[in-house]
Amino acid sequence: MSCRGTQRRLEVDHERPASADLEHLSRCPECAAHRGLLRELYAEARASVSEPPTPALLSQVEGQARTALRRAHAPSPLRREILLPLGIALFALPIALAQGWLWLSGLFLLGEAWLPAPFLTGISVFYVATVGLSLGALYASLPFAVAYANRIQPETS
């Protein structure tokens, strides 16, 4: 019987060793000391009872949690919730610009022969200004629409 084998079996169950191990323990002081060490370790592990947290520690942890929650809910104008819809909506901008350019090109192509140039330029400037104002107002209203949708979300769900 080897010491290594006996000590491994003792680590699995040091309280009720097999008869062969008991016989080895009676002769081998090293393995007997190993069993003694295991008894001490298990006794210490059983005796160590976790202490409840102190009120000071509890208030410290609560303060940290409150700070973290406040930071998570702090309103920020550049939040992902607003930037993502705005970025997606910007994909429509080239389409709107191309449509405006096509419309003005058509106007000049058809009207050049009958209408004076200052009149065509005035109509073009008016068209570009009104479309620009409309698109600007639309994109400016998007963050407010997203914020409003997020505000009423908890009430509807």
- Which residues of the shown chain bind Zn ion in the complex (CB under 5 A)? 3, 28, 31
Considering the complex, what minimum distance in angstroms separates the CB of residue 42 from Zn ion?
20
Asked if 41 and 10 count as a contact pair (C-beta separation under 8 A), the reply is no
Nearer to Zn ion, 25 or 82 (CB): 25
CA-nearest of 69, 60, 18, 10 to 36 is 10
Considering the complex, what minimum distance in angstroms separates the CB of residue 28 from Zn ion?
3
Torsion angle, alpha carbons of 135, 132, 123, 108, to 10: -80
Nearer to Zn ion, 35 or 82 (CB): 35
SS3 label, residue 146:
helix
What DSSP element (H or E) covers 44? helix 29-47
CA 125 to the chain's CA centroid: 47
Nearer to Zn ion, 28 or 96 (CB): 28
Considering the complex, what minimum distance in angstroms separates the CB of residue 13 from Zn ion?
16
Considering the complex, what minimum distance in angstroms separates the CB of residue 41 from Zn ion?
18
Q: Which residue has the tokens 């200052």?
A: 118
Nearer to Zn ion, 8 or 66 (CB): 8
